[in-house]
Amino acid sequence: MGAGIDTRIFDDADALATAVADEICALAAVPSTRPFTIALAGGSTPKRLYELLAAPPRRDRVRWSDVELFFGDERAVPPEHPDSNYGMAKRALLDHVPVTAHRMAAEKDDAAGYARLLGERIPRRRNGIPIVDLVLLGMGEDGHTASLFPGTAALAERGAWVAMNDVPQLKTRRMTLTYPVLNAADRVWFLIAGAGKRTVVAECLAAAPRRDDPPPYPMLGVRPTDGELIWFLDKAAAGR
């Protein structure tokens, strides 16, 4: 479906979440000598996925002690705030399974602290950058992903693994993984659902894959150097 991107299209958001949940169960079931690391996406789309992973039968298929969760981004609010990505994941998943999850305390402004945590917990490196086994991402209608919004400073970050990012269009600050970490991952899966995303999805898929100059939409800057990139779409977002 264009741009050399591996796109998988599902009837609706629930079918999309079910497919991703089953893929994660399969990945997490592979025996390994190290934890399977996942960076969770924020926003609303992944909520159903997290609920599916938190309930039988999938909850009991995953060896949660062999999984370690991180966050792709977070709003500068405490965990109990309704906008908190951690709070959403906690209600949907973390309260229901015995898993280690590392909250991004964006309200404390300590991007370097979260970067240190990534370095301590994820030993594998690609070009010196921690390799997350699976990064889950969403996409906004402006083509942002994580908290990499159009026109914001963190888009240009090529050194730091985590950044505090001023987002004037939302009059807020957020903490986000930067492109170096996202593109060092073994797998990056976008979960994109709803007709509201249709226009940007079509424009992103039509855009020629360019590695050098800034892409027209931030989410197009996510091109793993060696890892897998899959866009999971429902028909509404895919314009079907």
Residue numbers at the binding site for ligand 6PG (CB under 6 A):
41-45, 72-73, 85, 138-140, 144-147
Shortest distance (Å) from residue 119 CB to ligand 6PG: 22
What CA–CA distance (Å, rounded) separates 87 from 27? Answer: 25
Nearer to ligand 6PG, 49 or 129 (CB): 49
Listed residue (11, 105, 91) closest to 47, CA to CA = 91
Nearer to ligand 6PG, 35 or 42 (CB): 42
Minimal distance, residue 146 CB to ligand 6PG, in Å: 5
Question: What is the C-alpha separation between 79 and 64, in angstroms, rounded?
Answer: 22
Q: Which is nearer to ligand 6PG, 67 or 136 (CB)?
A: 136
Choice between 62 and 148, CB closer to ligand 6PG: 148
Smallest gap, in angstroms, from Cβ of residue 115 to ligand 6PG? 18
Decide: 214 and 149 in contact? Cβ < 8 Å.
no
Report in angstroms how near the CB of residue 178 gets to ligand 6PG at its nearest.
13
* Distance, C-alpha 169 to centroid of its chain: 21
- Name the residue nearer to ligand 6PG (CB basis): 140 or 227: 140
Query: What would the two tokens of residue 188 be?
Result: 């990056």
Q: Taking the alpha carbons of 146, 232, 183, 71 in that order, is the dihedral positive or negative?
A: positive
CB of 154 to ligand 6PG, least distance (A): 12
Residue nearest ligand 6PG, CB atom distance: 138
Minimum Å gap between C-beta 30 and ligand 6PG is 26
Question: What are the start-end ranges of the E strands in the chain?
Answer: 6-10, 36-40, 67-71, 73-75, 100-101, 125-126, 129-130, 134-137, 162-167, 172-177, 187-192, 228-234
Nearest distance in Å: CB 52, ligand 6PG = 16
Residue in 152, 168, 238 with CA at minimum distance from that of residue 201: 238
CA distances from 152 to 33, 43, 211, 234 (A): 39, 19, 19, 28
Total residue count of the chain as it appears in this document: 240
**What letter does residue 35 receive in the DSSP assignment?**
P
